[in-house]
Amino acid sequence: MAPLLHEVDTPTKEATFGMACFWAPDCLFGATPGVIRTKVGYTGGSKGTPSYHNLSDHTEAIHIEYDPKEIDYSTLLKLFWENHNPSARMKLQYTSMIWYHDNEQKELAESTLKEQENKHKLPIVTKIAPASTFYDAEDYHQKYRLQGHPWLCEAIGMKSGAKLKNSHLAARLNGYVIGCGGVNQFNAEVGKLGLDEKTADYVRKLVIKNEGNGLTC
């Protein structure tokens, strides 16, 4: 059996999005092939060291590290647009945002924004801005859905939020436990994840139960 796949040693690029509550996109992108790591946090504001109960002018965000050989930024943008409401007017904490990390990302973000504006009857409120300091959210927010399964966290040696932020396996399972990715994808890659039979069966049952139920926060 392969070792637990917590670390993936491959060059990555970054992507950062605001899609309202950050628990849902953490699941979505965590189970997306080509995504290596995810973490949730706060960014976009001027105040240092924001917290969940003292955000000031920051926004909840998902930070993604992805393998550009396996998935491109355009695909991540497609998932961004398709999995939240870019027309919803919400308070700053939950604003729809794209923070770009280079000029290519900026151009792609602006191009897709124009496409969305042509598709939607309601005005798009999504803002595009350069990436700035990303402040990690509190440990209890990291891989929130996975942490709802204490036995599973213990089985993979991931009891703390600090470790959950950096684990590839935790990112995958955080999506799978709510059905993201689907059972066929899980079965195709489970051998690489290093799960024993009991743990794999536990996760598989959750994928089957929740597949197609959509994202929730």
Residues 68 and 24 in one domain: yes
pLDDT at 48: 87
- At how many degrees (to 10) do helices 182-193 and 168-176 cross? 150
The domain boundary residue, chosen from 91, 106, 136: 136
pLDDT at 2: 80
Residues 130 and 193 in one domain: no
E-strand ranges in the chain read 13-19, 35-43, 59-66, 96-100, 127-130, 135-136
> Whole-angstrom Cα distance, residue 131 to residue 173?
27
Kindly report the pTM of this predicted structure: 0.96
Say how many domains are in the chain.
2
The domain boundary residue, chosen from 73, 106, 136: 136
Residues 107 and 173 in one domain: no
Residue 2 domain flag: no
Is 21 known to be catalytic? yes
Q: Where are the alpha helices (DSSP H) in 41-167?
A: 73-82, 103-119, 144-147, 150-155, 161-166
- Secondary structure class of 135 (helix, strand, coil): strand
Residues 102 and 84 in one domain: yes
Residues 28 and 45 in one domain: yes
Residue 40 pairs in a beta bridge with 62
pLDDT at 110: 98
Q: Which portions of the chain are predicted below pLDDT 50?
A: none
Q: Which amino acid is at 8?
A: V
Confirm if 19 and 210 have CB atoms less than 8 A apart: no
Residue 200 domain flag: yes
- CATH number reported for the structural domain that contains residue 53 in this entry: 3.30.1060.10
Q: Choose the catalytic residue: 21, 27, 153, 180.
A: 21
Residues 119 and 143 in one domain: no
Residue located via tokens 């930024």? 73
Residue 4 domain flag: no
Chain length of the chain = 217
Residues 127 and 145 in one domain: no
Residue 216 domain flag: no
Residue 121 domain flag: yes
Q: What is the pLDDT of residues 152-165, one digit of tens each?
A: 999 999 877 778 99
Q: What is the pLDDT of residues 63-112, one digit of tens each?
A: 999 999 999 999 999 999 999 999 998 999 999 999 999 999 999 999 99
Minimal CA–CA distance to 177: which of 56, 41, 32, 27?
Answer: 27
Residues 69 and 122 in one domain: yes
Domain enclosing residue 167, as ranges? 139-210
Residues 104 and 70 in one domain: yes
> Whole-angstrom Cα distance, residue 30 to residue 38?
6
Confirm if 168 and 6 have CB atoms less than 8 A apart: yes
Residues 53 and 112 in one domain: yes
Q: What are the CA-CA distances from residue 10 to residues 34, 66, 68, 74, 136 (Å)? A: 11, 9, 10, 20, 22
pLDDT at 163: 84
Residue 95 domain flag: yes
The domain boundary residue, chosen from 101, 121, 136: 136
Residues 89 and 193 in one domain: no
pLDDT at 134: 98
pLDDT at 162: 77
